[in-house]
Structure 1
């Protein structure tokens, strides 16, 4: 058998040692391919490789991208940092599904020869030998054309260069000129002559639909919408009355209407107002104490209506361009049918009682956690079937309550099954927990995660956290919520309206997905003593709100929320997590960051740059100079910016002076005006 030629041989750096042209690492890869990397449709994804070769001869690196249908695209990686042997390119997958990619490093004989010719021919060194080497290289290229390995359209320029090299009546410089000309270089850059090819991969890349990356969520308790106090008792809202809230949510520009649990609520150990153990007649109980004689996770609380009412709610949401997210809390009240039918799904204490949920000093006597250690398969099937039922009724997103209290193995298997059967369904992890658990939930398939933003306030904290999140982008997408129905931080309760405005602006601009809990518009900021949550918490009582009245009185934040969602929708730069650059401010309470996309990273083909200059405290303004990295903004001084919150225009240089006020102007949200406008 004839030996394999160097140009045809392919090594795998993963299976055949280090390979002829070493590729030491490539990405995006998660934990050495233990988990798949992921992104969203249209997202600009950086693909990189750490590759090198011995000596000084030329080499190249290419990406081979395979789409879900098996089609392949090849792209050249550029040398991003020669001193560190770093190569990179960017891709924008255009369809959801399971993609894969490989990185191929190779020796580039033509580029090596071209460099030698450019040095030796002008100096009159080894002219005949250099020309002969050029003929040898281009003859190999021509052979690939004749064998069908490269397109026939390459032939004319290659043949012309070979003919010139063979014309002895010309000077050496004239003979090599066509072989060094731009047209041939372009051909052999796009389709290089390769030898010693080393492959790193394939690596899996799951591409999710766009809403997995970019979206605005609005949370509300449907029982509060339309609730009223009549004749000494409360009458709760219904799914039909809650459907009326969807028009306002859609008008504010939100994408997702997120409902807290809508299931029957247990009577045993029902919590009263403010989490007390002595409910009064008519107290509705916590919707997280799921299950009663009326059913469990598959059922709807009778006070809210019927399954037909729910389907009508979903239908109205779709008419308005909204999707419905349902809160999934995998726990049971003592009255849940599962407690009676499957006691093996719970932890039984030595005294025969079932263990209720605790997070000392907090106690949740009305909630029984599930145990996955006795009948894993049975519990898995029951939970899967519950979720399948809601998907059939139009739910496309699930906000999962406390996923970090369930086995990670369970989530890995369940999310993989839903990825196969319902890839359009998005799961958000409500996991305010330790970093390792939070990151692992992202790795095993959660599309989004609640985040530590709620407790990150200073410029340094925000910078450090956002850079960490950008590094984690191949597997974890954060969702920023200034408050939730469970959390009201001291910052928010102390800062009032100024704090609510400020944190909304930061949440909406720092990351692609953010969320608001109903009542945020009204600056509901009074804490329950001794707890980081609201007093008269909506989890334990009805809370109807007069949004229209607040809007008419000019005290609602609804116009700001609407404006922020419009800005996010119109500016693709704000729809990215990874393209964030922090700039400097002389005042340490000011945070300055920008996001820039060039034309290749946007659907319109136009560059987009947004620059945010914001206070981080609610109790003091500033007059400060900031220092901008103009290269990150892709501009030269002077340049023009437009404030997207006020419509004002300013001419700035690299060191502009800003005046910010927590009450009048907490932040600039600026678009960089392109010179062609």
Structure 2
């Protein structure tokens, strides 16, 4: 591993460019994006004196050539903070920088707009303006202007020099909005000063936006014999569930570990230490004489059967994710073949996993400080075995309990040969660890969303994950997992499950559910936040016909359908939280401007894609609220700045209803009928 290097000295430059974002540790690691993602770029730009400055964000493709550039706006007047938006269109290692420059047109327009009406230096100001526009129309970039822009700017140059016209008319001609827009598209830049160039790694689209469905393949098709023992489901029986998962619009089917399971200290039902004959054990207690992390549990089938499952998933439009849990049962081959990979206690026994007061006697954790070279190489080999078998995503179990330098190495090795492979970090831990796992290469991360329930908590968290943090840590929102059943869902019933599904599906571009969500499985094991009769320790076949009566499966399918139809819901850093007058009602929107919409998805689109979500957080009672909408965030503010509030139409993508709204609409949501509005906003 190379050691960190100090940031090289860089002169401040003629026009300072400071505090550029998104930049991770001074460029030590790349910021992240996906093709088509709108990337906000910010910098602090200023200069001495009173002359105007401006800035441009420049995007370089993997070939190091300029791909595109975007004008930046001063978004915090007085604080000199500028923002622009870049949009890569292919995977690879891109880069960007900010170029600051003196803006002679803005300086002249400001001064002339004050002096000419006041009768000060009128002809001098207009003559200087004429000279400025001659420079504008003779610059090399004039050839790149549209014909309309070039003709307009040439006309301005001529009229400014025409002393027979009234001064006010000449000034008005030179400062009209069309001229400002033309010079925004291709400005006259002087004393250009670039920032450093920073890395931007562009992963495939599924790294940012997708929907996951978790399942235990051994439960699908499991049957109980007359003597009470069980016959495991197989890859063949589990594959029969794939069409239904695909019909609900999911992109990924995620399998918990499918490896042989140890028998030593095997856990019984509900995590007891008294396993009964036939108890299958936790799939996280990996390894038996039949094999370890590269092996397949014989009850599930063979390697050929697994590949057939993957092929069937692909036929249904699904990719396959696999749990990567780097721990061993006492029966794992590594225990006898590589005892140096484990911690040996003073009494000669191998230390099992503990998180006091919790004990996991059926699991031995790896000790990465003992023969790291051997462990690193073996884990990489195992990952590549599964990639060769068709796995394209890994959900990594507890990565925060393994060394960060190991993950940085492993993820770099896989990226070098298989950049399409995606890693999801399951690290419910301290923010510094979660965010650093993201910095060093994890594509996605589980989040604290599961425990954010109140209006204040939800609003704060949506803004947090959709802010600057989103340049590195892509959130994956899960209402439940096989380990977690939060109190809100224990008491919320069908409506509670619907509320959390809407928030997860619209609050993050990536979300997932654990199998059984459609059946509103919400009975906890006493004293803990997990389900009774937990599937980790037993077979759990389900009667899927019951899902039709509850309506959650239909809601999941509709949410995924809406997500695919709206590019705004496939972005992360485009969220705005709106004010409501009820502490049980939360409202937020996502917007993608027309110029950033994918041409293939919306050919000839001239209208922004805007989705407004309004959710009743109370799963038991109807709630009413007035919404105080941020019209500018919705793209509805009047361009002339007048205070007249527009009327517009909103179409509810869940109910099919259309409403005529203004800036302060009234809503009422009854959880027995509809827990949320997911609204397409259409300007009137």
Please, which moves more after superposition, 50-59 or 182-191? Answer: 182-191
Change beyond 3 A, Cα 1:141–1:370: same
Contact 2:126 2:167 in 1 (8 A): no
Is residue 164–residue 178 contact of structure 1 (8 Å, CA) maintained in 2?
A: no
What's the counterpart of residue 250 of structure 2? Answer: 254
Distance, in Å, in 1 between the alignment partners of 2:223 and 2:27 is 55
Matched residue, 1:4: none
Q: Which residue of 2 aligns with 1:32?
A: 26
Task: Determine helix, strand or coil for the equivalent of 1:633.
Answer: coil
Conservation of the 8 A alpha-carbon contact between 2:463 and 2:577: no
| Secondary structure in 2 matching 1:84 | coil
Q: Does 1:659 align with 2:668?
A: yes
Question: For residues 417 and 134 of structure 1, do their structure 2 counterparts lie closer, same or farther at Cα, with a shift above 3 Å needed?
Answer: same
Given the alignment of the two structures, is residue 427 of structure 1 paired with residue 428 of structure 2, yes or no? no
Normalising by structure 1, we get a TM-score of 0.90
Provide the residue aligned with 1:9 in structure 2: none
Cα distance in 1 between the residues matched to 2:683 and 2:658? 13
CA contact 1:42–1:92 (8 Å) conserved in 2: yes
Paired residues for 1:409-488 under 5 Å? 409-471=405-467, 472-488=469-485
| 2:193 aligned with 1:209 | no
Match of 1:228 among 207, 223, 228: 223
Q: C-alpha deviations, 1:636-674, integer Å up to 9, x for none? A: 543322222211222223333322222222222222233
Shift of 1:138: 6.3
Distance 1:393 1:405 in 2: 27
Q: Distance in 1 between matches of 2:257 and 2:157?
A: 77
Shift of the alpha carbon at 1:627?
Answer: 2.7
- 2:608 is the alignment partner of 1:607: yes
Aligned partner of 2:533 in structure 1 is 536
Aligned partner of 1:240 among 228, 236, 241: 236
Equivalents in 2 of 1:354, 1:144: separation in Å? 75
1:120–1:326: structure 2 CA closer, same or farther, 3 Å change rule?
same
Larger displacement relative to structure 2 (261-270 or 29-38): 29-38
1:492 aligned counterpart, secondary structure = helix
- The Cα of 1:347 is off from its aligned counterpart by 0.8
Which of 319, 323, 338 is 1:323 aligned to? Answer: 319
- Partner of 1:223: helix, strand, or coil? coil
After TM superposition, the structure 1 = structure 2 runs for residues 37-436 of structure 1, keeping only pairs within 5 Å, are 37-72=31-66, 73-113=68-108, 115-116=110-111, 145=140, 151=143, 180=174, 189-232=184-227, 233-436=229-432
Q: After the TM superposition, which of the residue ranges 122-131 and 93-102 deviates more from structure 2?
A: 122-131
CA contact (8 A) 2:256 2:322 kept: yes
**Corresponding residue for residue 3 of structure 1:** none
The question of whether the paired residues in 2 share the 8 Å contact of 1:449 and 1:478 is answered with: yes
- Alpha-carbon distance change, 186 to 312 in structure 1, aligned in 2, over 3 angstroms: same
Q: Aligned partners of 1:221 and 1:129: how far apart in 2?
A: 79
* TM-superposed deviation, 1:126: 5.1
* Gap runs ≥5 in structure 2: 1-6, 637-644
Cα separation, 1, equivalents of 2:83 and 2:170: 31
Offset, 1:395: 0.8
Give 1:492's aligned residue.
489
Instruction: Kindly indicate whether the alpha-carbon contact (under 8 Å) linking 1:138 and 1:158 is maintained by their aligned counterparts in 2.
Output: no
Structure 1: where are the runs of 5+ without partners?
1-12
Is residue 14–residue 200 contact of structure 1 (8 Å, CA) maintained in 2? no
1: CA distance, partners of 2:21 / 2:44: 9
Retained in 2: the 8 A contact 1:141–1:158?
no
CA distance in structure 1 between the partners assigned to 2:25 and 2:85 by the alignment: 21
Report the TM-score, using the length of structure 2 for normalisation: 0.90
Q: Quote how far apart the aligned CAs of 1:555 are.
A: 3.0
Moved more, 581-590 or 135-144: 135-144
Deviates more, 1:535-544 or 1:646-655: 646-655
Name the structure 1 match of 2:586. 591
1:507 counterpart residue number: 504
Residues 291-328 of structure 1 show CA distances to partners (whole Å, capped at 9, x for unaligned) of 11111111111111111111111111111111000011
How big is the shift at 1:136?
6.5
What SS does structure 2 have at the residue aligned with 1:495? helix
- Equivalent in the alignment of 1:20: 14
Aligned residue number for residue 650 of structure 2: 641
Question: How far 1:96 sits from its partner (Å)?
Answer: 1.1
- The Cα RMSD (Å) is 2.8
CA distance in 2, matches of 1:26, 1:61: 12
Q: Deviations over 1:179-218 (max 9, x none)?
A: 9487886665444343332221201111111111111100
Query: In the aligned structure 1, how far is the partner of 2:129 from the partner of 2:666?
Result: 59
For 1:5, the equivalent position in structure 2 comes to none
Q: Distance in 2 between matches of 1:637 and 1:164?
A: 39
Partner deviation per Cα, 1:254-296 (whole Å, 9 max, x = no partner): 0000000001111111111111112111111111011111111
Moved more, 50-59 or 118-127: 118-127
In 2, distance between residues paired with 1:491 and 1:566? 26
Separation of aligned partners in 1, 2:414 and 2:337: 26
Give a deviation string over 1:11-53, Cα, whole Å, max 9, x none: xx98443221111221111233232111222111111121011
Does the 8 Å CA contact 1:106/1:196 hold for their aligned counterparts?
Answer: yes
CA distance in 2, matches of 1:584, 1:311: 50
- After TM superposition, the structure 1 = structure 2 runs for residues 551-562 of structure 1, keeping only pairs within 5 Å, are 551=547, 554-555=549-550, 557-562=552-557
Q: CA offset at residue 393 of structure 1?
A: 1.4
After superposition, the Cα gap between the structure-2 partners of 1:385 and 1:193, relative to the gap in structure 1 and judged at 3 Å, is same
- SS of residue in 2 equivalent to 1:19: coil
User: 2:112·2:171 contact (CA, 8 Å) conserved in 1?
Assistant: no
**Cα offset for 1:372?**
0.7
Q: Counterpart of 1:563?
A: 558
**Matched residues in 2 for 1:172 and 1:364: separation?**
87
Going from structure 1 to structure 2, the CA distance change for 1:460 and 1:141 (only over 3 Å counts) comes to closer
Shift, 1:338, TM fit? 1.0
Please give the alpha-carbon distance, in whole angstroms, between the structure 2 residues aligned to 1:428 and 1:631: 35
